[in-house]
Amino acid sequence: MKTIATKISAILLAGVSMAGLQSCDYLDIEPEKTLPGESVDYTRTEEMYEAVSGCYAAVRTYNMHWILNLLTVIRDGDVWSGRTDDQGDLVTMGNSYIYNSAWWGINETWRNYYQIIRICNSALLSLDEYETHITSEDDMKRCRSYRGEVKIIRSLAYYRLAQFFGNVPILADNYQTDYTPSERNVVYEYLLRDLDYAMTYTPKVRPNQMEHVGAFSGYTAQALAAKVYLQMGNYEKVEELTDGMISSGLFTLYNDYYQLWKIPGRLCDESLAECQVTDFGMGSGDYIGVDQFFNCAGPTISNPNTTLQSTGGWNFVGYFDSFYDWAIDRGETVRATTTFLVGGTETPSGDYVAPAGNANNTNIWNGKWYLPLEQITPGRTEYGCNNNVRILRYADVLLMNAEAKVRLGRNGDEPFNAVRRRAAMPELRNVDVDMILDERRMELCCEWGERYADLVRTGKAAQVLGQKGWSPDKTYFPIPSEQLDLAPELMNPPYTSLER
């Protein structure tokens, strides 16, 4: 069975070209041809996917950096850094919206997403070279499909950049020297072109049905495009795209919300995008993982009845007590049990969650990134080891569909209640936008900044976050000062269209 994973070297925004970069597509083979400029035999069209696998490796290496995990979720009023004794900038940025453009984490976020974009640009050039040697229609179809996968990955990077920074440069090629930004909606227009291509040429199947199992599919592109249109307020397109996914009959909500986030739920029929991890089922040796992504969010977990009896994380990613109380007061049980790791309690898997050892730290952590000790491969000790990172889920599609329908004057009860039924919550009738936003707040909490994005796009951020210091000029993080030193044109007035 083919799968997608590999490792890849880092490239700075202002660094070298990535033309010709390649890597392998098998989890159990060392990466090949990973040096820029190394000769590639483009007549070997059977190796086309090597260019694509390097892009997935970039997602795993750069998008899953632990600081990006934290920066994505700390500004929504429900989640905070979880610690006051480490990475103090996370506290001031998330709790009082005081941003430090010189802080390393903001620069790392900018740099990592442009690294992904550069690698995708290089992969597309490689696929163009392979295409010149293709002689069969089947190979041409594969090439177009692979190109679509790369465009989805590149679109995801641009989408995240727009979430974080608003107006950002479009890097048309890796030799570009003008880093004048484009307006956020122009960036959206650019990435929607990529997603349209992927929806046309990449198979409309679940990721677990792809040739390379777990690869992003045409429906991954469709879900991401719906999210972009939701940000733009184009509810007709949101409804059209999400209706298409629902009517396909391919996707279902995983029946166990708790296990959805654990080993049994990996690449299930709810999954639209995951970053894949593996320890090959072996207790030692090679491991393809996401570095400290899970570890940064974990408290100390112990269980004397498991092979691995204890593992500890860094104790970041904490929920405010106010959000926990809100969830419990609204009757959450299934999602509360999964979402909240409360210090001094036991999980359904029998693991004990150690309470915070410092009064300035959180005592409620993000349970979605928790992996029970019984599910960790014997011999491994890393927190969350061998678990995939969930990026896009069908539950989000259902809630987007419900919101689009309601905003267009139609009834959104069915997709809305499908999500609630899985959570063992009572069904509601004639739901309105505020009810859907509350459902998104619970269902998608601590997932890629969804709550903060919802508050901003609906104009509710000032009301919910204003008392903590948020104002419209704090919507986005500042451009990192290190990047301004490298490219002063980042301060130029942004481009207002793709035609320059």
- Residue pointed to by tokens 């590999």: 6
For residue range 173-200, list pLDDT tens digits in order: 999 999 999 999 999 999 999 999 999 9
Question: Could you tell me the strand order of the sheet in which 310-311 lies?
Answer: 310-311, 301-302, 352-353
Cβ contact 142:127 at 8 Å: no
Cβ contact 377:277 at 8 Å: no
Q: How confident is the model at residue 5 (pLDDT cuts 50, 70, 90)?
A: very low
Cβ contact 291:272 at 8 Å: no
SS (H, E, C) the chain: CCECCCCCCCCCCCCCCCCCCCCCCCCCCCCCCCCCCCCCCCCCHHHCHHHHHHHHHHHHHHHCCHHHHHHHHCCCCCEECCCCCCCHHHHHHHHCCCCCCCCHHHHHHHHHHHHHHHHHHHHHHHHHHHHCCCCCHHHHHHHHHHHHHHHHHHHHHHHHHHHHHCCECCCCCCCCCCCCCECHHHHHHHHHHHHHHHHHHCCCCCHHHCCCECCCCHHHHHHHHHHHHHHHCCHHHHHHHHHHHHHCCCCCCCCCHHHHCCHHHCCCCCEEEEECCECCCCCCCCCECCCCCCHHHCCCEECCCCCCCEECCCCCCEECHHHHHHHHHCCCCHHHHHHEEECCCECCCCCEECCCCCCCCCCEEEHHHCCCHHHCCCCCCCCCCCCCEEEEEHHHHHHHHHHHHHHCCCCCHHHHHHHHHHCCCCCCCCCCHHHHHHHHHHHCCCCCCHHHHHHHHCCCHHHHHHHHCCCHHHCCCCCCHHHHHHCHHHHCCCECCCCC
Asked if the model's pLDDT at residue 41 lies above 50, the reply is yes
Of the candidates 62, 399, 389, the one whose C-alpha atom is nearest the C-alpha of residue 227 is: 399
For residue range 145-180, list pLDDT tens digits in order: 999 999 999 999 999 999 999 999 999 999 999 999
Asked if the model's pLDDT at residue 7 lies above 70, the reply is no
Radius of gyration of the chain (CA): 22
* CA separation for the pair 394, 116 (Å, rounded): 25
Asked if the model's pLDDT at residue 441 lies above 90, the reply is yes
Beta bridge pairs of residue 271 = 393
Asked if the model's pLDDT at residue 21 lies above 90, the reply is no
Q: How confident is the model at residue 2 (pLDDT cuts 50, 70, 90)?
A: very low
pLDDT of residue 27: 31
pLDDT of residue 38: 58
Determine the distance from the C-alpha atom of residue 69 to the mean position of all C-alpha atoms in its chain, rounded to a whole number. 9
Integer angstrom CA distances of residue 49 from 4, 20, 54:
9, 13, 9
Asked if the model's pLDDT at residue 310 lies above 70, the reply is yes
Instruction: Write down the mean pLDDT value for the chain.
Output: 92
Q: How confident is the model at residue 261 (pLDDT cuts 50, 70, 90)?
A: very high
- Residue pointed to by tokens 């987007």: 400
Asked if the model's pLDDT at residue 127 lies above 80, the reply is yes
Q: What is the CB neighbour count within 10 angstroms for residue 288?
A: 18
Q: How confident is the model at residue 26 (pLDDT cuts 50, 70, 90)?
A: very low
For residue range 455-480, list pLDDT tens digits in order: 999 999 999 999 999 999 999 999 99
Range 51-73 average pLDDT: 94
pLDDT of residue 40: 87
pTM, entire model: 0.94
Of the candidates 443, 365, 448, the one whose C-alpha atom is nearest the C-alpha of residue 73 is: 448
pLDDT of residue 258: 98
* CA separation for the pair 120, 93 (Å, rounded): 31
For residue range 402-439, list pLDDT tens digits in order: 999 999 999 999 999 999 999 999 999 999 999 999 99
Asked if the model's pLDDT at residue 444 lies above 90, the reply is yes
pLDDT of residue 152: 98
> How wide is the angle at C-alpha 438 spanned by C-alphas 437 and 444, nearest 5°?
80
Asked if the model's pLDDT at residue 246 lies above 80, the reply is yes
